[in-house]
Chain A
Amino acid sequence: MTISSRLLLTGFFIILVAAPRPVVAQRSLTDIPAPDPTAELAAMLVAEGYEVNLFAADPLIRKPLQMNFDPQGRLWVSSSSVYPQIQPGEVANDTVTILEDRDGDGRADTHTVFADGLLMPTAVLPGDGGCYVANSTELLHLADQDGDGKADQRRVVLSGFGAEDTHHIIHTFRWGPDARLFFNQSIYIHSHVETPAGVKRLNGGGIWRFLPRSLALDVYARGWVNTWGHAFDQWHRSLVTDGAGGEGIYYGFPGAAYQAAVGTSRILHGMNPGSPKYCGLEIVDGPHLPDDAHGTLITNDFRANRVCRFRLTEQGSGFSSEQLPDLIRSKRVTFRPIDIKLGPDGAIYIADWYNPIIQHGEVDFRDPRRDREHGRIWRVTAKGRPLAPRVDFSGRSIPELLDDLATQSAYGRDMARRVLWTHNPVSIRQAVTAWLAELDPAAASFERLRLEGLRLFQAIDRGSASEINQPLLAEVLGSTDPRARAAAARIAVDWADRLDDPVGLLAATVDDESMLVRLEGVRALATIGGPRAAELVLQAVDRPRDDALDYAAWLASRELRADWLPAVVAGDSPIIAHPRRLLFAIEATGAAEAIPTVVRLLQTGSLSNDDRQAALDCIARFGGPAELQLVFEAAVQPTTAPARAATLLEFLLESQTRRRVRPAGPLAGLEQLIGSPDAAVAKAAAAAAGRWQLVTAIEPLARLATDTKQPTALRRTAIENLGRFTEAAAAVAPLGQLAGDRATPMALRIAAMAAMLNQQPEAAAAAAVSLLASPVAEAEQAAIFQAFLSRQGSPAVLAAALEAAEQPLPTSVATTGLQQLAGSGRAEPALVAALKRLEGRPDQPLARRGFSATEMTKFLAFVQASGNATRGQEIYRREKLQCVKCHRIGREGGKVGPNLSTIGVASQPDYIVNSLLEPARNVKEGYNTLVVLTADGQVVTGIPVSRTDTELVLRTADDKQLTIRTADIDEESAGTSLMPVGLVDQLSRQELADLASYLFGLGREGL
């Protein structure tokens, strides 16, 4: 957060607290603003130069979910009052409505219910003589055969989509420039769709693309939480928003994977870290809107009741993005903009779902405040600028439509394409060829229009050999504009089955001067496949690459593993002559089979120094025992620089952890390194000695552990690794001594106690009780409990020791212990009982509960009357409360918990208060924890970050990412929230009210 915005924020709170009823009143439970569109309009702050009018409202439309214009300029709107869940006995009767503004006054004057009887239609897109509709588990096509304006034919086009969460079901329909229907699904959905080419499955979120003509369906990109926005720029590149992600605008390309993607160990990131939650996406264009707005992105932050803008700048293989001042902000909690589209008159249309309640994961399905009646479409125009002339594209001739592609109007180009696709393919091909011949190569628009022409060939392609236009494709691949070359690479994939030499045609892309072209070239070649494509893909490694290009090459190496690996293993691949390419491919895939090839390469002595190091690192990470031994010997060699030795040992340790592979031995020389004066070497050597159970290292480890002159961190490593010798008594003795030694720093005593747990749990528990009986800080108490909670079976041992304790224990031990237990997501009844007895309240419920309805009403009134947001902000920042450690507001704070920047407008006050009191009650999606028991008895609680067949990555409460081998997982169970219970117990009622007041105001800055 910048200083100025912080001042603004503080200023705002003073206003908020001092203001009379209106602002504060709508935050109360029952006082929801009257659903008056005039008042809603009046409450909007609209950016300078723009104005807003009401295009349509209830009762014409209720609860709009998605809207799209057709080529005649009519607006199709899907709506649901059934959401979030059909009630027993309720008949699903959701609708698709068509709105039309025939007289051009900016207000809908005609309204037709095109279809009803639908179940939560989250998307509608006109096309193919009717419209495509997302109907929960199905993608339907509805058509009006008899021309009465109502659907009379209902066809299931695709089915098998998941509905595990109804705000995640398929959504965000949009026509791509290639005549594919793009649509998305969100994080909790698992879809299994039967097509003539087999079952297509997508677990978790992602973007599908679908060609209705052939029923070809595939996954375009994966991940995100709620991909509720997708738009194509004028070069047909994908921009994406996420209604629950935290990184603003995302760049989409085939194979891209983002947050929460299932089955991948690597993800990309959005362009605006810390900028959360956008729904819908459109790119400003057209004659009506001001020129300086052209190309900006408009999207909705429905949680914070505002419409936001971003400006993109091309950068690397994608873009950078900068947030601009909002287009609209509203003081009304019910303003929920969720879709945004450019309209036939050049204006911006915004679908307002209108609801004081959003979500149904955190808010009860049947919460009476849920609005099921209302909804609006707002229209935003630029003041004093003429509207675009309205055109019925469905009535335009082919030449007129081709000319429309040249206009500066994204709306017009989209509609023109959509109508062109419906014409006879033969006529289109002829007309496009003639049109292309007429284009002026010197014109600024030439490259873009030639690409549009090529797109049309692709879009109307029915799959026969004569339909592709190979010369045109080659021309566009050779375009002077990299954006055209990049798009053409993608088109080549669609035609690969009929091109003479698709791989040869794309060969130059991997060495293109533009990173964007290299990215698309790599993705295209990876899709086409084959040994030559694999070689080319790896060639892209020779040049600089940003994260997306590096990811693309990484993914391609994995996808084409079978195309490059056999030849590498056999030693006759041209890749071997390029060590960097080879090492990249091995690192991307973890292909241990290729390591002997690397060893041979190393032994030839032909490698440069840098390449030698890289090769050794690669062997250390992926080699077998004999090969790791080579690395080990290199590491312990006296001539090896300390930093290198440490690095190699760390890689070897990584192999131990991730692959359970260790050097074949002997491990001579490791003991000496434990005593190295270089701390990094000593640390790595100590860790290796413990991991590999090198008994001859116990003595140097004990020496290091007890050496008071050594840094604490190093001693801790020695202590922890002594704990790994589960059989050796020689390792336990120094641990017991350290744990009981009052002169040793408390952190090391606790570490020694924890290390003893492996060998002598009872002795460790006795040591723990002694430590707890001495004056230790709360954080230290917590660390002691955590040591026991992270090991299967240990909590019961601690419970027994606590019960048997002879020395008196402070009750704070019980409080801390119970807090830690509640946050761990586990039951551990013996420990609970022991702690409750210690607390002296054996019959009280474990965790403090949220308020009852009556208590809540009273408390909220108290917040309103005497909560002070400024004081609340100070409380929020108290270190002891740990809020900042885990939650982000603006640009400040951790990422373990949900971003709270707009919590005040996103959530109702009672939910915020109850979340403080009882964190597990309502957990934001993507923040539910998983409790994992590993084969060696470790218990780990964290938020799943990624999961593949071989590895699970969890984010732990201290914001560390922990990788666990799937093979080591014994049990998994659903936890709740990582937020510790009872954090606010220490607050007085006044302080709690202040904190609540601060949180209620977040996201309302400047209103």
Chain B
Amino acid sequence: MDATQSPSWKVSFTALVGAFLASLGLNAAEPTGGAAPSWQLQDGERIVLLGDTLFERDGQLGFLETALVTAFPEANLEFRNLGWGGDTVWADSRGVFDPPAKGYARMLKLVEELAPDVIFVAYGRNESFAGDRQLDAFSKQLDKLCADLCQQKAGTTGESPRLVLVTPSPFERQPTCPDADARNAVLARYATVIRETAAARQVGLVDLFAEWPQTPATTPFTTDGLHLSPDGYRTAARLFVAAAGRQLPADWADHSAPVRERINAKNQLFFHRWRPANETYLFLFRKHEQGNNAAEIPRFDPLVAEAEAAVRAARDARPATGDLP
């Protein structure tokens, strides 16, 4: 299956959605720079979030997922968050007892099992600490990652999943991050690689690095110079949605609090499913001892499904009321 795909259907779909949103009193935003948005999400699709702490913490805070669920009201979407702190395009955090290459293979296997239609790929910040000398290697490995992900089959169509690459948000000058400017100078080149990879492969892009606002409105965008604060996540969420050519109502974050709460509950259950504690005994080299306890783990599946339904119910409840039955 070719990794590239025709964006033609998206334009008409966006127009359709725009009309739909207009009927709800929402505005479908003009895509950035007037170009057609590079990606969309459709009803019934499963979306995988693959990346570093940006996604891992969204699994607890839920802003990005909530924003996407809110911005695509016509679609029932399923999110599976595979973020892992400290991770890189080489899967440096996923090796566990094995070298990263094996963790990379396990990650691909997991993606295969999940059979997502869309995969958001957010890497580059951790890699950027190695400076320009690793830039080339990063570029090659990012491209390999894209190619490997495109080898998978989407659950709904059996075709290659659609990728959306995400550039890191910039470092923010803080007492804990005094050298943000120097770090951003390097990070900019990593962001360029990501942008170029997206263009070359004709896959989607969310360009946090380029679109990031210069100064925070009220509170800092990050808690420590790199990890997003709730305000930072709200900002990132807007940029995700805008990249799809959509827009969120100004008070979406407040209105969608019940949705977010359920998303977080769902993500917590899914975390215990895919990255359970005690892996050593459940699945790895000591499974001959307590491996029998691994039978508990699939019992999270129906709970995740239930939680997913609760997310939808909350999303479909009238947003204006803000609270739920």
Contact = CB atoms under 8 A, between A and B. Distances in A.
A162 B103 CA distance: 14
Interface string A185-204: 00010111111111111000
B155 interface: no
Interface string B78-92: 000000111110001
Contacts of A974: 284-285
Q: Which of B85, B93, B95 has the most CB of A within 10 A?
A: B85
A8 to B, nearest CB: 34
B272 to A, nearest CB: 6
Interface stretch (B199-207, B221-229, B316-324): B221-229
A362 B289 contact: yes
B185 interface: no
Contacts of B284: 164, 974
B85 A193 contact: yes
Interface string A213-229: 11100000000000000
Contacts of B84: 160, 192
B281 interface: yes
Given A160-B53, A164-B96, A199-B129, A88 B277 contact: no
A164 B285 contact: no
A159 B56 contact: yes
Contact of A928 (B56, B87, B125, B285): B285
Interface in A443-486: 463
A85 interface: yes
Contacts of B279: 163-164
Contact of B303 (A89, A366, A925): A89
Contact of A199 (B56, B86, B174, B280): B86
B281 A194 contact: no
A164 B94 CA distance: 12
A921 B288 contact: yes
Contact of B292 (A188, A364, A920): A364
Nearest to B275: A163
Interface string A965-1007: 0000000001010000000000000000000000000000000
Contacts, number: 133
B27 interface: no
A214 B129 contact: no
B144 interface: no
B289 A164 contact: no
Interface residues of B, number: 50
A89 B299 CA distance: 9
A928 B290 contact: no
Contacts of A164: 96-97, 277-280, 284
Interface string A850-870: 000000000000000000000
A84 B278 contact: yes
A369 interface: no
A88 B273 CA distance: 9
Q: Which of B86, B178, B277, B281 has the most CB of A within 10 A?
A: B277
A693 interface: no
B224 A196 contact: yes
Contacts of A166: 277-278
Contacts of A120: 277
A120 B56 CA distance: 19
A88 B303 contact: yes
A169 B126 CA distance: 23
B87 A192 contact: yes
A201 B92 contact: yes
A473 to B, nearest CB: 23
A166 B275 CA distance: 13
A160 B300 contact: no
A159 B278 contact: no
Given A196-B176, A976-B288, A160 B280 contact: no
Contacts of B57: 156, 159
Nearest to A190: B96
Interface string A585-609: 0000000000000000000000000
A136 interface: yes
B156 interface: no
A194 B52 contact: yes
A120 to B, nearest CB: 8
Contacts of B97: 164, 188, 190
Contacts of B288: 920-921, 976
Interface string B283-303: 011101110110011011001
A163 B282 CA distance: 12
A172 B193 CA distance: 42
Secondary structure call for the A interface: loop
Contacts of A925: 286
Contact of A921 (B53, B289, B297): B289
Nearest to A162: B96
A199 B277 contact: no
Contacts of B285: 928, 974
A196 B177 contact: yes
A159 B85 contact: yes
A198 B96 contact: no
Contacts of B281: 165, 360-361, 365
Interface in B251-276: 272, 275-276
Nearest to A972: B98
Interface in B116-154: 125-126, 129
Given A88-B303, A164-B279, A166-B277, A192 B92 contact: yes
B289 A196 contact: no
Interface string A805-831: 000000000000000000000000000
Given A198-B126, A199-B129, A215-B224, A160 B86 contact: yes
Nearest to B171: A196
A86 interface: yes
A195 B126 CA distance: 9
A152 B284 CA distance: 38
A201 B86 contact: yes
B164 to A, nearest CB: 22
Interface string A141-172: 00000000000000110011011111001000
Nearest to B229: A155
A364 B295 CA distance: 13
Contacts of B178: 463
A194 B126 contact: yes
B280 A87 contact: no
A194 B53 contact: yes
Nearest to B53: A194
Contact of A361 (B96, B276, B290): B290
Given A190-B95, A201-B86, A923 B289 contact: yes
Contacts of A922: 289
Interface string B147-179: 000000000000000000000000100111110
Given A86-B277, A196-B224, A215-B224, A364 B293 contact: yes
B152 to A, nearest CB: 24
Q: Which of B226, B279, B281 has the most CB of A within 10 A?
A: B281
Interface string A908-920: 0000000000001
Nearest to A462: B175
B286 A193 contact: no
A196 B225 contact: yes
A198 B96 CA distance: 19
Q: 9 tightest CB-CB pairs across the interface, nearest first? A: A192-B86, A160-B85, A198-B129, A974-B285, A88-B299, A192-B93, A196-B177, A163-B277, A199-B86
24 contacts: A87-B296, A88-B272, A88-B297, A89-B303, A137-B85, A160-B56, A160-B93, A162-B96, A163-B275, A163-B278, A164-B277, A164-B279, A164-B280, A166-B277, A188-B280, A192-B92, A194-B125, A199-B129, A201-B86, A213-B176, A361-B290, A364-B292, A364-B293, A923-B286
Interface of A: 84-89, 120, 136-137, 155-156, 159-160, 162-166, 169, 188, 190-201, 213-215, 360-362, 364-366, 463, 920-923, 925, 928, 974, 976
Given A89-B299, A164-B278, A194-B227, 8 more contacts: A86-B277, A156-B57, A156-B227, A159-B85, A162-B96, A192-B93, A194-B125, A214-B175
